[in-house]
Amino acid sequence: MRYAIILSVVIAAAGTVMIPDAQAQTESTRGVDIARAVELEREAEVASGERRRWSRAASLLEEASRLRPESDPVALANLRMAGTIYGALGQFERAKRTLLGLADRAIEYGEVATAANVLMDAAHIAVRLNDEPAVRSCYERANRLAMSSHLSSEEQRLITARLESSRSVFASVGR
């Protein structure tokens, strides 16, 4: 139910996003189709209402993300929700892959706080997989991002606090 509520918020936000004409023209050559993305997000919202359809909801959100401009915050939110759903379903490899791809994309578009938090999410998924190298890599990347001058002092504080509170969990992997 919690995921359905969060997904509903993401979907509601999706319907209100507009892109400038110049960006729309540039992005159209890459297959951007906001109207179709919104349709898929609405389908995902319906699918998220039943646990047995969560995998379908996550797939729809990934597809909707591909149909939005790469820098669109809703596209990023769709990927984060898809990764979260995969994790909730126990599809940890898929969740990790989705979240790591999102982190790279967020960094590329200057969304440093999003990238750091998503890397922390991916590290927690990697703990479930007992994937020590992935845990270490995600933690170290998030730690470096926490020091970024592109973050406000409050964002730095929150990310650093999250890193600190997870340190013992991450250190337990591989022991």
Query: What residues does each domain of the chain span?
Result: 1-89, 92-175
Please state the φ and ψ torsions of residue 33, each to the nearest 5 degrees.
Answer: -145, 85
Distance from first CA to last CA of the chain, Å, rounded? 35
Confidence of residue 9 (pLDDT cuts 50, 70, 90): very low
Q: Is the pTM of this model over 0.85?
A: no
pLDDT at 172: 86
- As a whole number, the mean pLDDT across the chain is 86
pLDDT at 8: 46
| Residue in the structure block whose two tokens are 């996550």 | 58
pLDDT greater at residue 127 or residue 12: 127
* Tens digit of each residue's pLDDT (9 = 90 or more) over 114-136: 999 999 999 999 999 999 999 99
Percent of the chain with pLDDT over 90: 76
**DSSP readout, 16-65?**
T----HHHHHHHHTTT--HHHHHHHHHHHHHHTTSGGGHHHHHHHHHHHH
* Tens digit of each residue's pLDDT (9 = 90 or more) over 43-93: 999 999 999 999 999 999 999 999 999 989 999 999 999 999 999 999 999
